[in-house]
Amino acid sequence: MIVVMKPGAGKEHVQHVVELVQEFGLKEHVIYGTDRTVVACLGDKRMADKGAIENAPMVERIVPILAPFKRASLEVKKERTQVEIGPNKFSMGGRQVGIIAGPCSVESRDQILRTAEAVKEAGCIGLRGGAFKPRTSPYSFQGMGEEGLKILAEARDQTGLAIVTEVVGVEQVDLCAHYADVLQIGARNMQHFPLLEAVGRIDKPVLLKRGMSAHLDEFLLAAEYIMNEGNDQVILCERGVRTFERYVRNTLPLAIVPELNNLTHLPVVVDPSHGTGHAHLVPAMCRAAVAVGADGVMLECHPDPEHAASDGAQSITPEGLKSMMATLKRIAEAIGRTL
């Protein structure tokens, strides 16, 4: 941490800051520049509230130097993490790119089994589907609940696909963990800390979506909440951020993939369905996601998008999925991976 003093700060102001810094258990190093004095603080406390020093007289601002996350950091653990998912133990984070597809919501047994069959045949390794749905409006379809989870488990038994499903509350963690292979934390829940702690205490992979306006530090600290409880099987998922853009539901910032690869050892998956919000943009962004180096792609696929109970506008059809997969495979190979 570096404390930048305002111009005109006197010895007494600097001394006051030095005392505050020492109270935090840090060692100070004062540098008198031509226009500014700065106090460099040595020691690794990563305490969140050193910001309080900002309120001391004649302090201009605080510049943090160390990243606030540890367990998720590539500095601390230098080998890439691979997370094994599903009955076939697919390694997310390995050389093979994993594609996960399926509807937004579980709507019926027939819908899921048909979709699972198509998803499997297309070469995907996972099936997504929501049984508990966090919906913006209380008047929207809220999901089939446990009945939906049972249908998903049946689909896994038939196809060997890994089941990815969202958990929206602490109460449902055990239930979802019982049926599913990967527990998804949705973007709206990225900082729902009791939920993060709850999935941190079970032994199942967690797919953590980035909040729609979360900074990278916040994203990795959310992963840290899970890992801090003992669960290291965390897959990060970028699903688009909210910006001024209007032709998309969200803006999908793919540069986050190489940047996360610089910062963390955790695998990274991209969701181009939420990341654009429109089915006609999904195939191109799936191609870009594979090319940029994502470990996996998760997308929405529905046998009859016009009648989907949710997210119809951003779902592609099984035929669309199939025709896209051959291209994704060629792109994966072009960058030295498989699919």
- Position of tokens 């819908």? 111
* CB nearer a copy of itself, residue 201 or residue 307: 307
* CB nearer a copy of itself, residue 46 or residue 178: 46
Contact between 26 and 41 under an 8 Å Cβ cutoff? The reply is: yes
State the DSSP H helix or E strand holding residue 296, giving kind and residue range, or none if neither: strand 296-300
State the chain's maximal CA–CA distance in angstroms: 75
Backbone conformation region of residue 18, classed left if phi is above 0, alpha if psi is from -120 to 50, else beta: alpha
Residue 330 to residue 332: CA distance in whole angstroms: 5
- Position of tokens 């570096």? 2
* CB nearer a copy of itself, residue 4 or residue 175: 4
Q: How far is the CB of 193 from a copy of itself (least distance, A)?
A: 5
Sequence-separated (6 or more) residues with CB below 8 Å from residue 86:
125, 126, 156, 160, 161, 162, 163, 181, 182
Q: How far is the CB of 67 from a copy of itself (least distance, A)?
A: 9
Q: How far is the CB of 171 from a copy of itself (least distance, A)?
A: 7
* CB nearer a copy of itself, residue 10 or residue 43: 43
Closest CA to 162 of 181, 184, 178: 181
Q: How far is the CB of 161 from a copy of itself (least distance, A)?
A: 24
Q: How far is the CB of 160 from a copy of itself (least distance, A)?
A: 27
Q: Write the single-letter amino acid at 286.
A: C
Residue 59 to residue 38: CA distance in whole angstroms: 9
* CB nearer a copy of itself, residue 14 or residue 53: 53
* CB nearer a copy of itself, residue 120 or residue 274: 274
Q: How far is the CB of 230 from a copy of itself (least distance, A)?
A: 12
3-state secondary structure of 276: coil
Q: How far is the CB of 86 from a copy of itself (least distance, A)?
A: 27
* CB nearer a copy of itself, residue 59 or residue 85: 59
